[in-house]
Amino acid sequence: MGIRYNKIENKNKREIVLLKSFPCKYGKCKFCNYIEDNSTDEVEINRVNFETLEEVTGEFGALEVINSGSVFELTEKTLEKIREIVHEKNIKLLYFEIYYGYKNRLNEIREFFKGTEIRFRMGMETFDNEFRINSYGKNFKVGVAELEELSKKLYSVCLLICVKGQTKEMIEKDIELGLKNFESVTINIFINNGTEVERDEELVRWFVDKYAYLQDDARVELLIDNKDLGVFEQ
């Protein structure tokens, strides 16, 4: 059972939907279990998504779509339905997720939703290239040029923190670079999920103690529990 619709009312008010999509094209991140929600059955995908999107009221003028993958893995019909709802409910701001490999295709989405502001979020997980590639299995390197490019193209990045092998210094650096380069950061404290990546309880204690104030920072979305957005499949 899961919950696919919610309202975020503390900061950055918006409605949020967890939609179903085709399998994540990358699919190799070592900590990722959410791709279990992916499907290859287009009819089923659209059925679930249309039903979920029915709940959107447009009350905040902002809608976030997450889909256990990238916006590019949603079906054409789902994208069209989102566009319909955006117009019907007068939504001015849309949030979507992307994987690094799609960074040069963002204009396609902007074009499709012309007239609506689009904010893209990407799972950076960490700015430490070696850790991202080797420990998280996210196969891309971000150098100075890429960081500059991404800071222009994306609204925010997600950081995954408090896992075994990470150090306090790495987390401090990640938060610093995230806030320096992006308008917003989403910080996920990792929760064991049956994958090979493991949570480090000592780092969690240290982080919560040191960074609790981030809860009040409008630029930071702090997910202490991965169900904090109120949408999940399980």
Residues that bind ligand SF4 (CB under 6 A): 24, 26-29, 32, 34-35, 68-69, 99, 123
Q: With respect to ligand SF4, which residue has the nearer C-beta, 13 or 28?
A: 28
- Contacts with 29 (C-beta within 8 Å, 6 or more apart), sequence order: 123, 125, 136, 137, 138
Query: Least CB distance from residue 124 to ligand SF4, whole Å?
Result: 11
Query: Least CB distance from residue 139 to ligand SF4, whole Å?
Result: 10
Q: With respect to ligand SF4, which residue has the nearer C-beta, 45 or 85?
A: 45
Are 189 and 204 a contacting pair, CB within 8 Å?
yes
Query: Least CB distance from residue 38 to ligand SF4, whole Å?
Result: 8
The upper half-sphere exposure of residue 7, i.e. CA atoms within 13 Å in the direction of its Cβ, equals: 10
Nearest alpha carbon to residue 119 among 58, 186, 55, 170: 186
Query: Least CB distance from residue 103 to ligand SF4, whole Å?
Result: 12
Q: With respect to ligand SF4, which residue has the nearer C-beta, 3 or 35?
A: 35
Q: With respect to ligand SF4, which residue has the nearer C-beta, 15 or 125?
A: 125
What is the SS3 assignment for 122?
strand
Query: Least CB distance from residue 96 to ligand SF4, whole Å?
Result: 13
Q: With respect to ligand SF4, which residue has the nearer C-beta, 70 or 184?
A: 70
Q: Characterize 154-180 residue by residue with b for buried, 16 or more Cβ atoms within 10 angstroms of its Cβ, and e for exposed.
A: bbbbbbbbbbeebeeebbeebbebbee
Alpha-carbon distance of 83 to 56, in angstroms, equals: 12
